[in-house]
Chain A
């Protein structure tokens, strides 16, 4: 039989009541905070995981903010490009009109004025702000508008950087397209080669922008087409290698030329000794294309067929340039569209991840109220029982019965 010392009986009763109280207090604290992890000691692994999840959620919300910023920037840039494309479409119509040989100088001058307006409008669009104190098409240069117009000469003072922001842990998204690539580097001619009429031409002959018939035969060389005596023949020379390609072929109006995988046509009546050149496509800015044709249209012809021929060539070149510009703008816009699509995908992925993280976090950290409430009532019962048994045990003493 185990003896029980009276002092120890009281001590252990008190200790039990104390333990019951502590357990009840812990559960009450959990219920009050709604969390089952109130300090790392409550669940070290859970607390560490919750810390990680918390920073993950913070990061995701930052990525989400970056995504919105990227979306806003790209939306703004895309709509600006839509407007620029509309301007170029109107330029295209104006140039088609300018190609009409029956126009008077005054009419051409009016078209030039219209194109001048388009040029100014384009510069304005290219200098659109990004809403953050910078510019949509200035690369990383923020201090001054990236396109500087001096008369009809437009130069680019931005840089060729393409700023990006982080939209997920591993992916960055380009938010700006530098103006140098959007407006300044439009391939000349048809994108592969460019044709032009010699500046000293005296006839009214003009050359089309041409097309590629056989890509495998392209040489990338420069060619000169020279009109022979009487304006009835032409010869083609590869001026890069100084070899004759076509010699004294017959010329009518119009004549289609075919050499080195390229095809183009000469129309009008060129004079003997007039030259046309065919060179690989280079880059030219939209603004240069416009300003070149504006100055050509402003030239006074006084009915000179030579001048008309040169205007016609200039208009042809400008039309090709405009087409290239429209196609280049739409390519840029398409890639912005793809990015916006990607951003939207990342956005929903981000939301899913964030929800997932929050759910996991909640399952680790948050309290199961039903469980806690039932634990609390169990602890209360236990506490009551401890109090009651203490009360009845403390009443019991042999001394109570042996008095008197």
Chain B
């Protein structure tokens, strides 16, 4: 290249043109996601000696077209993106549960209230077949509300699984994309080039990856980056990718786990420490949020069904028969880990011992050093038993099929599925046991002042007395003594004290007043078609008893509403704040890397003028040259 004026003009023209192109590219990509603005850097070319110890400039060189990018701000944006995606997904997911519980005039709570209202109406007219039918319908409506709620939660859980698998696919595709960019960048860098577009693309891909799952990156000297999950497992090392997969938790077949495979098994991402991203939100929703709501409504279902059944079974229905369970009897689901030494032979059995103590939680039973460590998963409380069977939180645990080996793990879900399996067993309104099983009647020829007080059935139905329904006649031989006769057998003389309970055959009777000799009291089965409402009154009283882990049904349900609301409201707040952080991080990053069109307009003017000036230089050089030639011609 010529080093003279023409050379300078030419290099200036070239530099201005390059700068104009860069500016043009910036303008063209002003709205391109992930694009980092580029700047052209110039340097004067080497000066040449001009004699007399002077040097003179020879023009300008374009030394670099570099992208304006801050690693630090990029990382910040990635982190903010992972958290914001998690918060967004969580907010969307929890909003669904929130909607499920948003009506104050329908849903589980209303149907429970309605059921008890119908029972109260039944207590006014125990013989009314209309009241009985309505009560049974209200019971069915209530169970279907429980079923529906659980079904909707299950649908949400399934949809979360579906979304997980889509997200996993996205992650794997993105990781492959990063891998291929890695190798292209390495090749370019090795040949001394700075592949701005590829770097932008890779940064954008990593950002996309963070939308799905929070990752950390580690830049290598050859220009490649390695990508790791929050649990330290790599997704990408150089150009080698590790696929993210979904599977079943070997220690608890009910849990879905996500992670990379290592030695044939999945190293799971901890749902509570996932690093963020939609996958983190979905895992948490599936493993924590859904089970916790299911457990709470399941706890309601189990307590209500079993306590109600106890009362119903202790009573007498309209035909005079003993009441049959109104609701299906709740059972407990258990699973054994597939990794157990005795997998397939030893299983855990669990049954309810006191449903009012049942907690809204799943449990893990682990054999450690010959002891059985039972962990309540809702709060992590551990209880160690040295032998089985053992009773904890209203249920009795035992092993069948042998003794489990050390390290074996079993899972117990006492109430998680209860809301979906709750159903009404009775088919006829007449089967509602509105009456008590027994009735005490004073003899019609009694002459004393004896009156019947409270007649209670003891220890029912868990330990019923086989003779409970047998007719017992108390015969008073004096104001202070009596014998009782049942099944043709007369007891020895007993002492009578007014107000003191008389216990026979599993019932307890309190009499008051003074009997005359020859007076009698008969305790016998209530019989059919009576207007006895004693048992239905016990049923209605359930509404205000602490039968759900010490809380009443209403307050337990309102606690469900409160906790669902709190989950959704926290998610909303979290979403707002995480979005604000993301927006600020993005704004910070774009204030460095983003294109400002006004700035580009000034650049455009600047380089355009530089170009015009350079062209003028060439023109000047030409003019000078022409003048020289003309002069030579003229003189020559």
Asked if B555 is at the interface of the complex by the 8 Å CB criterion, the answer is: yes
Asked if B127 is at the interface of the complex by the 8 Å CB criterion, the answer is: yes
**Inter-subunit contact B598/A12 (CB<8 Å):** no
Q: How large is the interface on A (under 10, 10 to 19, 20 to 34, 35 or more residues)?
A: 35 or more
**Inter-subunit contact B123/A165 (CB<8 Å):** yes
- Least CB distance from A88 to B in Å reads 21
For window 1-52 of chain B, which residues contact chain A by CB distance below 8 Å?
30-31, 37
Q: Which residues of B contact A38 (CB under 8 A)?
A: 102
Q: Which residues of B contact A169 (CB under 8 A)?
A: 544
Known: A51-B104, A62-B116. A165 touches B594 (CB 8 A): no
Given contacts A163-B531, A184-B444, 20 further A-B contacts (CB under 8 A): A5-B37, A41-B568, A41-B572, A42-B569, A44-B561, A47-B561, A48-B559, A54-B113, A66-B123, A132-B125, A133-B128, A140-B126, A140-B532, A160-B452, A163-B534, A164-B533, A180-B442, A181-B451, A365-B104, A397-B601
Q: How large is the interface on B (under 10, 10 to 19, 20 to 34, 35 or more residues)?
A: 35 or more
Asked if A58 is at the interface of the complex by the 8 Å CB criterion, the answer is: yes
- Least CB distance from A132 to B in Å reads 5
Q: How many A-B residue contacts, CB cutoff 8 Å? A: 209
Known: A5-B595, A142-B127, A398-B601. A52 touches B558 (CB 8 A): yes
Q: Which residues of B contact A39 (CB under 8 A)?
A: 98-99, 101-102, 565, 568
Nearest B-chain residue to A365, judged by Cβ: B104
**Inter-subunit contact A3/B435 (CB<8 Å):** no
Asked if B252 is at the interface of the complex by the 8 Å CB criterion, the answer is: no
Provide the main secondary structure of the chain B interface. Answer: helix
Asked if B554 is at the interface of the complex by the 8 Å CB criterion, the answer is: yes
Nearest B-chain residue to A132, judged by Cβ: B125
Nearest B-chain residue to A163, judged by Cβ: B533
- Least CB distance from A394 to B in Å reads 11
Known: A39-B102, A160-B440, A169-B544. A6 touches B537 (CB 8 A): no
Known: A282-B516, A397-B598. A55 touches B554 (CB 8 A): yes
Asked if A268 is at the interface of the complex by the 8 Å CB criterion, the answer is: no
Nearest B-chain residue to A135, judged by Cβ: B531
- Least CB distance from B445 to A in Å reads 9
Spell out A's residues near B (CB within 8 Å): 2-8, 11-12, 15, 38-45, 47-52, 54-56, 58-59, 62-63, 65-66, 69, 132-134, 138, 140-143, 155-156, 159-161, 163-166, 169, 172, 180-181, 184-185, 282-283, 365, 397-399, 402
Q: Which residues of A contact B112 (CB under 8 A)?
A: 55
A-B contact pairs, 22 of them (CB 8 A): A4-B596, A5-B590, A40-B98, A40-B561, A41-B572, A43-B565, A48-B558, A51-B558, A54-B109, A65-B124, A66-B123, A133-B128, A140-B530, A141-B530, A160-B442, A161-B439, A165-B120, A165-B124, A165-B533, A184-B444, A282-B448, A283-B447
Known: A3-B596, A283-B447, A402-B605. A55 touches B109 (CB 8 A): yes
- Least CB distance from B532 to A in Å reads 4
Q: Which residues of A contact B563 (CB under 8 A)?
A: 44
Q: Which residues of A contact B99 (CB under 8 A)?
A: 39
For window 218-244 of chain B, which residues contact chain A by CB distance below 8 Å?
none
**Inter-subunit contact B451/A140 (CB<8 Å):** no
**Inter-subunit contact B540/A166 (CB<8 Å):** yes
Q: Name the residue among A51, A138, A164, A180 with the largest chain B CB count within 10 angstroms.
A: A51
Known: A40-B562, A62-B120, A398-B602. A159 touches B594 (CB 8 A): no
Q: Which residues of B contact A66 (CB under 8 A)?
A: 120, 123-124
Nearest B-chain residue to A35, judged by Cβ: B104
Q: Which residues of B contact A45 (CB under 8 A)?
A: 562, 565
**Inter-subunit contact A48/B531 (CB<8 Å):** no
Bound form: Cα–Cα A63–B569 in Å: 35
